[in-house]
A and B are shown apart, each in its own frame.
Chain A
Amino acid sequence: QSALTQPPSMSGSPGQSVTISCTGSSSDVGGYHRVSWYQQPPGTAPKLIIHEVSHRPSGVPDRFSGSKSGNTASLTISGLQADDEADYYCSSYTSSNTYVFGTGTKVTVL
Chain B
Amino acid sequence: QVQLVQSGAEVKKPGASVKVSCKASGYTFTTYYIHWVRLAPGRGLEWMGMINPSAGNTNYPQRFQGRVTMTRDTSTSTVYMELSSLRPEDAAVYFCARERDSTFYFDYWGQGTLVTVSS
Contacts and interface: CB of A to CB of B under 8 A. Distances in A.
Interface in B23-53: 35, 37, 39, 44-47
A45 B95 contact: yes
Given A45-B109, A46-B45, A52 B104 contact: yes
Nearest to A51: B105
A63 interface: no
Interface string A37-71: 01010000111100110000100000000000000
B59 A57 contact: no
Contacts of B95: 45-46
B103 interface: yes
Interface residues of B, number: 20
A30 B61 CA distance: 20
A89 B61 contact: no
B44 A3 contact: yes
A36 B106 contact: yes
Contacts of B45: 38, 46, 89, 91, 101, 104
Interface residues on A, range: 20 to 34
Interface stretch (A13-21, A75-83, A92-100): A92-100
B14 interface: no
A102 interface: yes
A100 B109 contact: no
B111 interface: yes
B53 to A, nearest CB: 18
Per CB-CB distance, the 8 closest pairs between chain A and chain B, nearest first, are A36-B105, A34-B104, A51-B105, A104-B44, A45-B109, A101-B45, A99-B47, A93-B104
Interface of A: 1, 3, 32, 34, 36, 38, 40, 45-48, 51-52, 57, 89, 91, 93, 96-104
18 contacts: A1-B61, A3-B44, A34-B104, A38-B45, A38-B106, A40-B39, A46-B37, A48-B106, A51-B103, A51-B104, A52-B105, A57-B107, A91-B47, A93-B104, A98-B47, A98-B59, A98-B61, A101-B46
